[in-house]
Structure 1
């Protein structure tokens, strides 16, 4: 009977320790971590973008893994297409950055991706849902959908986005955005 009491005491101690651990820390951040916080914060301030949106896009695109190249050729953490990256580098007048650097160096990729998001945000007058869709499908497609009335650009009607991949992408980015803004009080 003594060994049973010892097990109960140990169980109570374990449960108590676990409860203190969960209550004293932001334990949900273990499931939804944000890496490259300094780079995201810095470039989000520079380009006036919501850092949680940048983090959510990185989470969906590559789950914070550097050096990625998609089957379609998109590069780096934020999965920028080479043509878009070349255009953005020229328009943003950023220091000379090669496509290899965009693929391998997080800060350069986050800076260019954040600049591009800022550009999309201006094009779509701050409509976050349309910006996310344009980041995936291209601004031309999203403008066409909005003008043709096949999608109204709101979060409530994401299910109406004509391209399934983009619809799913927008839903995932919005999910992570909501998780990040709920878990992290500040960036």
Structure 2
């Protein structure tokens, strides 16, 4: 066989192998992975919160990397502020959880973050967009925006969120949420 013919055969084999790989697997999950699936599933079920929302928030906050601490002091996978975390630990009755564990142990952080999301969901009557905004800007700010008519709490009007950081955050979380719900139908 000539050298050119061998290249063609190898190219066809590579294309065939790649095609089979893409058709036989959920290849989009390579670009949008969800780590800590069991922990997310367990804690989102316990606290009755959408697991895709938990995964999307983790993706935006830390891209599933543990031990992170933001410049503002937020800790762990779900980037909980220490004051919020202490309040949530008390309300959720998790006495054996410390801020150090919260920072380094994914399951502990996901549990407290899921509890907090569930609390926000009750506070905002299940309005997922308002919950995402409150997770970033704080529930007090979001309540004020809704009361004052600055923002109506809908996904269609995210552009009206007064804080640029929160507006961008909500858009990113919704983007990943939509990707995850499309890719991981059986999660």
Measured against the shorter chain, the TM-score band is over 0.9
Which portions of structure 1, spanning 4 or more consecutive aligned residues, are displaced by more than 2 angstroms? none
Asked if residue 41 in structure 1 is aligned to residue 19 in structure 2, the reply is: no
Mapped to 1, the partners of 2:71 and 2:157 lie a distance apart of 29
Give the alignment of 1:96-115 within 5 angstroms.
Answer: 96-115=96-115
Give, in angstroms, the shift of residue 6 of structure 1.
1.6
Mapped to 2, the partners of 1:95 and 1:183 lie a distance apart of 37
Corresponding residue of 2:72: 72
Mapped to 2, the partners of 1:133 and 1:58 lie a distance apart of 14
Asked if residue 153 in structure 1 is aligned to residue 153 in structure 2, the reply is: yes
Mapped to 1, the partners of 2:2 and 2:69 lie a distance apart of 60
- The gaps in structure 1 that reach 5 residues or longer are none
Q: CA RMSD in A?
A: 0.8
- The gaps in structure 2 that reach 5 residues or longer are none
Give, in angstroms, the shift of residue 95 of structure 1.
3.4
Mapped to 2, the partners of 1:41 and 1:19 lie a distance apart of 31
Q: Deviations over 1:2-37 (max 9, x none)?
A: 221221111111101100000000011001000000
Corresponding residue of 1:173: 173
Q: What's the secondary structure of 1:64's corresponding residue?
A: coil
Mapped to 2, the partners of 1:28 and 1:57 lie a distance apart of 19
Mapped to 1, the partners of 2:7 and 2:74 lie a distance apart of 55
* Superposition TM-score, scaled by structure 1 size: 0.98
Counting matched residue pairs gives 187
Corresponding residue of 2:94: 94
